[in-house]
Every structure is written in structure tokens, then in C-alpha cells.
A and B are shown apart, each in its own frame.
Chain A
Amino acid sequence: MRTIREHFAVSTLTLAIQGALLAMFAAPLVAVAADADQDVATLTQPTNSVEIGAENVSKKSAKFGEYNGLNKSGADLIGNFSARGGDAYQSYDGGTGVTRWEIKGTDLGTTSREVGGAVSQQGAWNLGVNYDQLRHHITDSYQTPFQGTMGGNNLVIPGTFGVIDATDDDAVGTGTQGMTANQLASFRTVDVYTDRKNTSFNAGYTFNRQWSVQFDFNRLDQSGAKLIGVSMSPDALGVGAGEKVATLMNPTNYKTDTFDIAATWLGEKGHLTASYFASIFKDGYSSLSWSNPFIDSGGGSALTGSAPAGGAFPMNTFATPPNNNFQQLNLLGGYDFTSATTLAGGMSYGRNTQNSSFIDDPLLTSALPQGALNGLVVTTHADLKLTNQTSKDLALSAGLKYNERDNRTPSNTFTSFASIAGDPWGAVTNAPVSNKNYQLELAGTYRIDKKQSVRLAYDYDDVKSWCNNSLANSFQSADVVATYPTYYTNSACVQSPSSKEHKLSTNYKLKVASDVSLNAGYAYARRRADINSSYYNPMQTSAEGLQNLGYVPYFEASRREHILKAGINWQASDRFNVGMSGRYVDDKYDAALGVQKGHAWGLNLDAAYGYSQTGTVSAYFSVQRRQRDLLSSADKSPLATPANLWTNRMSDDTNTVGVTAKQKDLMGGRLELAGDLSYSLGKTRYSTQIQDSTLCSDITCGSLPAIRNDMKKLKVTAIYAVDKASKVALTYLYKKLKSDDYYYSAYQLGWTDVTVLPTNQQAPNYSVNVLMASYMYSFR
């Protein structure tokens, strides 16, 4: 008994001690469990967040703020939020709910804002709405004497402005620089931008595992304007030579509604999606009208600085984009014959229509053959691809594609407008071009062993172009027949009615070692085009000359193309990776005149290093080079004379370098730093030479100054966790653009051609500092 008692006594004590020990260990264990709960919840439950702050932009710049809404100097609000919820997020805890919802808003304080929300029952239905705004800032230095709102379609210069001196046409002289003080004072600076607002709605319903439907709608609402060049007649009747040029704000008063309704069937081996797509474009305007300040409305004689007769300038008009619709039926599907053999493809049938009334152009002098275009383009597409991988080491595929753009728009001859080039143009005919192409793709990939594989492919592309209308194919302008009886005898609406291209390509992959992989590829393509040697465009007349015979657009000319690609990647360790890749393309064209050859190459070097568990740094460097050689003739006659041949070489070079770094867990895990530095230098140069150097002057020959754009960007972000729910973010952004571009010279007062109205638009140079500070609160 004693023993038993002693045992009991010992057991009680032992139990007590064990209990004490358990309690001592349980306390931290419970704390650990609580932390673990928190960790689990952090991983499995959505985190909601609200961010509020302010940002300050040091300088105004339309280019810096082109898309980010930070175009003005001063303060902006930072506003972002995101919240998610629903019982679908309880799955880890054993929940079986399928409902989830989400609302979010980003960049709310700028014109680049977006808000949206969605709710769904996964596997049953889904609904979503979204609003996305983007203001595209085009320029803040454009100056114009035209009155009227940016985005309007009537730009007027009052008669009191006075007729601009353009008497010194095509010669060095006063030109527009001779504008009166009153005229110069009439110029105002306008911020030119377009607003793009997308409002979208989507809904889906899943009937069962086999059937589901999805509906998507988007309205794209555009307003504002873009800049556009316009020519003006040198006299009120529009028949004198010597056009005058202005830069106008072309309104973008557009609405585009897009619908997409799709039904999907998913079977065991096959699946099919049938859909209807519609895009309906509406332009709030049909035309843009503007005053012609270069002439007197009475009869064309310049009254420099004086008000035009009747007190108002004559108005010019051009047509803005016409309303149009595009509707398309689509079928997309696939079928698995076996686990190794699959057939997939799609078909589309679309109709693009346009029947907006033609505008009433003041220059029109007689009745039109039709009041609207009655335009119709039927697009057809079909593609089918069979893939097979019966053997693990051999994958084969064969594909066919067909695309047709059948333009059934009627052709007519228009004789009812006057010329701005001196002589009446006579009759011209619209040429609605159709084209179609057949493509065949055959490819095979063979795995030689575990380390290497090779791929061979053959592509064939057959292109045909034509006009459906006999008028567009046979129309012979009387003046062309009279001027060039020997040449242009076989008018047709296309220069290259057909072409065929064969392309062979191969690619080799090798795993040199467990940490080094390499790939290299080569492709050769040969395009042979049929060229209509007596072609002239029925939209042309002889008054201003016709295309020199033998001149072929580069995208239609016969061509030989070589493509070389290679890359190597070295995964030195889990933490360090370096890779290099490159590409070279060489094109040679078989055209007597036009683009003769071109080449392009690019080289990319990347490295990434994780210097600790919490820190990474990566860097990249890219070089891009492109060159194109053009051969042309200064003749306006059909046959080019050797002495008049000239060449133009374009060189386009870009170097890009960047470094990014990220460091977490500083200051006891509270601070996170991120940095992004990039530099891009682009240079484009042109050089023109004439075969007969005696014909050279700085007007006709020589190298143009490089178009040079030098862009630097530095962004540093620090995020400090005040506590588990609160963070403070501080971001510094610096961007600098140095743009040397001769483009702007032509529009400066003092540099403008006598016939060009200045805009004084400046190159988009900027050097902007932005400081952002925000408070982020997270909650569940």
C-alpha cells in the first residue's frame, strides 16, 4: 500500500510538475499558435487596403504626364483602395461557399483613374463593372490663332485678324514672320489632349459542366482633340497653286460600343465556343471646318494684314471619321482524337459597313455620283491545326489559315471637285481593294536526347489582291492616256495582284550543363511577287505625275529574308542568373526602285542576383540597330534616268540600360526599399545622296541632324510598417527627357515656311521630380 501511496504521491507531484512544464511551454506555444493563426489568415484570407496620400509634381509637362495624369505642377491626391470578400474565402477553414466580391479603385486622384467591382458565385455566375479613364496629354505648347474650343469642330479666325502675308511664296523672305502685331497677339496656347473613358460590364452564367455563356460590353467614350495638318487652297475657288498649311485641333468626339456574346460547350473530348461580336463606332461630328486666313474671301488677292472682303475668311472643310459598324460571328473549337492528337481551329465571318452621308464641302462644284458610300467589307477567316505527339520525342503540327477582306464597296468616278494644285484634276475613281491569303504551316520538334532538341518548320503564304469593281480595275484617266500613251496602259487597282512566300526555319536547343542552356535558330524566307508593270493608281491623275515604273512598295516587293536568333542562359546558382539573347534580320528586295535592303539586330543582356533572402538586384542592357536603304528617282516621268537616282539611308539606334533593386526586412522587418533606374537613348538618322553629285545642295542632299531622345528615370520607394495594419510609403520619382528633334523647327515663328502657319510647339523636354507620400491601412 505504501508503495502505492508513494507512487500516488510521486505521481501527483510529477503530474503537477508536468503540468507546470506544460503550462510553461504551452504559453509560448499558444502564442505561436496565435501567430500561426495570423500567418495562416494572412495567406488564406484577402487583405483589404486603403491608401491615401499626396504627390507633388515639380514642373508642368504634357509629355511627362502623357498617360499618368501628372501633367501639371503642384499637388495631386493619391487614392487607392481594394476590398475583397465572400464566403469563397473560407475554404481553408472548411467552408464550402463560392461567393466572392471585389471592389477596387486606383489612381483616383488623377485623370488616369480606374474603379471597378465584381461579384460571382464560382461555377455558377459572375457580374462585373469597370470604369477606366485615361487622359492622353499631347502637348501644352501648341499655339494657334484659331478660336473655338479644343474638341470642337468649328475653328474660326475672325476677319479682324487680317490676311496673312504669303506673297513671298517659296522664297526666303518675311513669310509668316511678317505677321502683324495684331496677328501675333491673336495666338493663344492650348493644352491639347484626348480623354478616353471605358465603361464596361460583363456577365457570365454556367449552366452545368458542359454549358456556359458570357456577355461583355464596353463603351469607349473619347473626347478632346489631336493635332493634324491641313492644307488650304490659295484662293477662294480652290484652283490656284501653292497650298497653305496649318495645324489644327482635330476633334475626337467618338463613341465605340463593343459587344461580345459567347456560348461555350465543353465535352469530354471536344469543346466549342460560338460568339457574336459587334463594334459600333459613332463620330459626334461629320466634319471639321476652319478659316483660311491666307486668302481674301472675295477672289484670292492677298490683302496683307487687312480684313478680308465681307469681314470673314472663307471656310475649308474636311471629313472626320465616318460612323461604321463591324459585326462578326465566330466559331472556335477543338477536339482531342487521342491524348496525343488534337485538332483545333476557328472560323469567323464579319461585315463592316459604313454609309455616312458625304459632307457638304464648299469646294464641291457639281453633284456627286452618290450621297453616301454604301461601303461594305466582308471579312472571312478560317484556321485549323492538327497536332500530334504520339512519340514522346517527336511533336508534329500542320496548320492551315485563310483570311479574306472582301471589299464590296462600289466604285465611282468623282469629277465634281476642284483642284488645289493648279489644274483641274479631272476624274478619279475610288478603288476599294480586296485581299486574301492562304497560309500553310508544317512543323516538327524532335527531342534528340534529354539535353537537346531540334525544330524544323515550313511556312507558305499566298497573297492575292484585287478590286471587285471593273471600273476600279480598268479606269483610264483621260489625261493619263493623253500624257503617257506608251506606259500606264493597263490600269489596275493593285500593283501586286499576287505573291507567294516560302519560309524554312530551324531551331536548336541544348542544355549544355545542368545550369547552362542554349538555343539558336535560323530562318530563310523567299517572297516572289507578281508586279503589274503598267500599274497606276486610279486615285491618281497625271497633273502631279505618276509613280515611276519599277517602284514597288517594300511590303509588296519580292524579298529574300534571313533571320538568325540565339540565346544563352546560365543559372549559376539559386541566387544568380545571367542570360544573353540576340536577333539579326536581313532583308533584300527585288525592286528596281524603292526599298532595296534593310537589316536589324538586337542584343540583350540580363543578370539577376539575390544577395540575401530578402534582397535582390537585377540589371539589363539592350542594344537595337536598324537600317534601311532606299533607291528613288527624282523623275516625274515613267522611266527613271540614272542621273536622277537618289538614295536615302535610315539608321535607327537605341541603347537601353536598367537596374532594379529590392530590399525587404530592414529595421526589424518594418522597412522595405525598392529602386528602379533606367536609361534609354534613341537616335534616328537620315542621309540622302544623289547619283549625280552635281545636283546636290543642302536642300537635296546630306545628313539630317539625328532625332535624339535621351530619357532617364529613377524611382525609389520606401515602405515602412508602422504596425501590422498600417504602412507609410514614400516614393521619389525623377524623370528627364532631352529631345533633339528637328521636327519642331518647321513650326517655329522665324523658321516656318512662308506657307506654314506657326504653332511654336516645343520639343517635349522635361526634367520632373515627383514626391509621393501615402498612408496605407490594411484590414480584413
Chain B
Amino acid sequence: MDLPGKFFAACVFAGSLIWSNAALAADLTQPQAEARVTPQWKGDAVCTHCHDESESRPILSIYQTKHGVKGDPRTPGCQSCHGTSDNHLKDKSQPTDVTFGENKSDAKVQNAACLSCHRAGKRTRWEGGQHQANDVPCSSCHAVHASVDKVRNRKTQTEVCFTCHKEQRADSLKISTHPIDAGKVVCSDCHNPHGSGGPKLLKKNTVTETCYSCHAEKRGPFLWEHQPVNKDCTNCHTPHGSNISPLLKSRAPFLCDECHDGPHDSPNPYGPGAAVGRPGSGGGYGDRSAAGRACMNCHSMVHGSNSPSGAFLHR
């Protein structure tokens, strides 16, 4: 090789070294830098070696979540939940020991991975609860790898619940609702999907106790009580949505007629003339006991009255 050729070769070589060093430097900024690897991370590396940033699902986003905080000794590694998955490591076509999601590993197996840590507090009553009994895996609602778990975000939680609870989705589009669409009242404000000591997976022990969490003004005890109120708010209300405001199962006076027949105007049958009125000549006006709020034009203290003169719930 002549001198110019050697010089050219040397330049190319030097250039390649510079680029190589740059590449090496770039590599050193990556987590593969062994010197900075923690034991937990090393464990994850068995998986993240393949399941890296190129995955269509955001596997590595778990490092934005509590499950990715390696400084917390309680934090699991990939294999804490997915199992050691020896078969998968040998043959990538084989699934991991535990695969999460619908139609993956048995729901009980999936949930055991979660419950091994998350068994106290809100999850105490998971076993035997409605979701457990129906083989709902935790991953059906929770996206553990996502940086933001949709079901734990108030703006998006209902999207997750409505995936299965379709009647409630339809209810939420009715004219009278809680502020569900605005994200101000969400399913988990009233329900504990992980199991409950109350009915319908409610957070509190009873329906009334749950409702009083926000509507404490209706808690009383009142001097004059309205018996169905103390028993169960859903005797009159339907909390997920209604065609009758405010969240009523029926419209007064017919709602009231379901329990009252005798006193005052309650035995009266009412047709359109009374409930609506009859406009035009020879017409008439709606009856104050049947039209508008009907009974509640006067008996408006339906949740109870503390006025000594309020025995008929009108004061």
C-alpha cells in the first residue's frame, strides 16, 4: 500500500474509531451500562433484553409506575408476576408462566400474582366477591404496564367499567345523571370493585351509608323520618341515570302512589287533565297534587324534616 493509500486508510480508521467511540459513548448512556445495574434491574433485564422499547405494547412504561420503583424493596420484578418462565426463555413461542389479560392464564392464577402483595385494605374481601366469582382477572381492568392506568384515572375510569357494565353506560347517557361524564363522580366513588361488605360492591356497609358520604344533609336523624329513605335510597332513586329528574325511578305522584294510598290526595287517580292541564276554552289547569312536582309541591321534605310542624314532611 502506498503512502496516500495508507493515509487514507488511517483516516478512515481514525474516523471509524471516532464514530465507534461516539457510539460507545451513546451506548454508555443506555441502561445496559453494567456498572449502574441494580439487582432488581438485572432481574428485569432477562425480559427487557427482548421486550424493549420496540414492543407494540408499552412494556417499559412500567418504570413510570409504582411497580417500577426499584428503590422500594417491595417492588416486584418481571418474573415476580410472570413467573420465571423457563420455557419461554428457551423458546420464545412459548408463553410465560403467567400471562395477563382476557383469555390468557386462568383468572385465579393471574390474580394470585397480584394478591400476593395486594391482599389487605380494599382487597380484603376479594375472595368470594362478585368479580372474583365471575373469574374477572385484575388485568381485565388494570393496565399495570401503562404509565397511567385508565381505571385509576377519574377522567377515563368509566370507559373501563362500561366495557362490561353496558346498562350503566346507557344509563349514564340519560337526561338525569350524576356528573359522570364530567369525571366528577366516578364508579369507584361509590363502589369497591375488589369486594365489599355491603350490597352491589358498595364501598360502605349499606346503600344509605354510601349515599350519605356526599349527601350528609339527608342523613339526619330527623324528627320526622320518611321510612323508605332510611332503608334504602334506591327505593325511589336510580343512581346511574334516569329519564326522570332528579335520578328518580318514577315521576310523582305515581312514584308516591307506589307506597301511599289513603291520606290527603294520595288515593286520587290522575289522568292527563290533572297532571298536565287542559288548555283552551273550557280547559283547566293542572292539579297541584298531580302536576309539576305533584305531591312534592307541598311535601317537599321527602328525606325527612326537623321542623316540629313538619310531620307531613311539608316543613
Contact = CB atoms under 8 A, between A and B. Distances in A.
A94 B31 contact: yes
A488 to B, nearest CB: 11
B207 to A, nearest CB: 10
A169 B58 CA distance: 72
Q: Which 8 A-B pairs have the closest CB atoms?
A: A16-B9, A19-B16, A746-B291, A746-B292, A231-B298, A682-B243, A67-B179, A319-B307
Interface string B128-170: 1000010100000000000100000001000000000011011
A375 B301 CA distance: 18
B71 interface: yes
Interface string A523-559: 0000000000000000110001111100101110000
B223 A22 contact: no
A694 to B, nearest CB: 13
Contacts of A481: none
B87 interface: no
B173 A680 contact: yes
A650 interface: yes
B129 to A, nearest CB: 9
B251 A229 contact: no
A701 B271 CA distance: 4
B276 A745 contact: yes
Contacts of A273: 120-121, 124
Given A33-B26, A44-B64, A399-B128, A375 B274 contact: no
A483 interface: no
Contacts of A646: 269
Contacts of B259: 553-555, 594
A379 B209 contact: yes
A92 B61 CA distance: 10
Contacts of B230: 405, 407, 433, 435
Interface residues of A, number: 211
Contacts of A555: 228, 231-232, 235, 259
A96 B63 CA distance: 12
B61 A283 contact: no
B224 interface: yes
Given A30-B19, A344-B125, A94 B33 contact: yes
Contacts of B285: 172, 175, 746, 751-754, 756
Contacts of A16: 8-10, 12-13
**Number of chain B interface residues as a range:** 35 or more
B243 A704 contact: no
B286 A44 contact: no
Interface stretch (B78-86, B88-96, B214-222): B214-222
A80 to B, nearest CB: 10
A620 B170 CA distance: 10
B3 to A, nearest CB: 12
Contacts, number: 533
A700 interface: yes
A778 interface: no
A591 B56 CA distance: 61
Contact of A361 (B1, B195, B308): B308
A601 to B, nearest CB: 10
Interface in B39-91: 40-41, 52-54, 56, 58-61, 63-64, 66, 68-75
A755 B270 CA distance: 18
Interface in A726-780: 737, 739, 742-747, 750-756, 764
Contacts of B292: 229, 743-747, 756
Contacts of A656: 169-170, 173
A639 to B, nearest CB: 11
A324 interface: yes
A624 B170 contact: yes
Contacts of A172: 282-285
A100 B277 CA distance: 64
Contacts of A381: 197, 205-206
A313 interface: no
B107 to A, nearest CB: 11
Contacts of B197: 332, 345-346, 348, 381, 383, 401
A344 B292 CA distance: 49
Given A231-B314, A318-B315, A700-B273, 13 more contacts: A172-B285, A229-B296, A258-B213, A334-B125, A345-B197, A346-B125, A375-B220, A379-B205, A397-B127, A539-B311, A555-B232, A622-B170, A636-B267
Interface in B232-286: 232, 235, 243-244, 250-251, 254, 257-264, 267-279, 282-286
B71 A122 contact: yes
A95 interface: yes
Given A16-B10, A345-B197, A652 B306 contact: no
A449 interface: no
B72 A123 contact: yes
Contacts of A30: 19, 22-23, 26
B237 to A, nearest CB: 13
A711 B225 CA distance: 37
B70 A432 contact: no
Interface string B170-204: 11011100010110100000000001010000000
A683 interface: yes
A333 interface: yes
A39 interface: yes
Nearest to B271: A702
A674 interface: no
Contacts of B298: 229-231, 243, 245
Of the candidates A19, A29, A494, A633, the one having the most CB atoms from chain B within 10 angstroms of its own CB is A19
B262 A551 contact: yes
Given A40-B53, A701-B269, A354 B127 contact: no
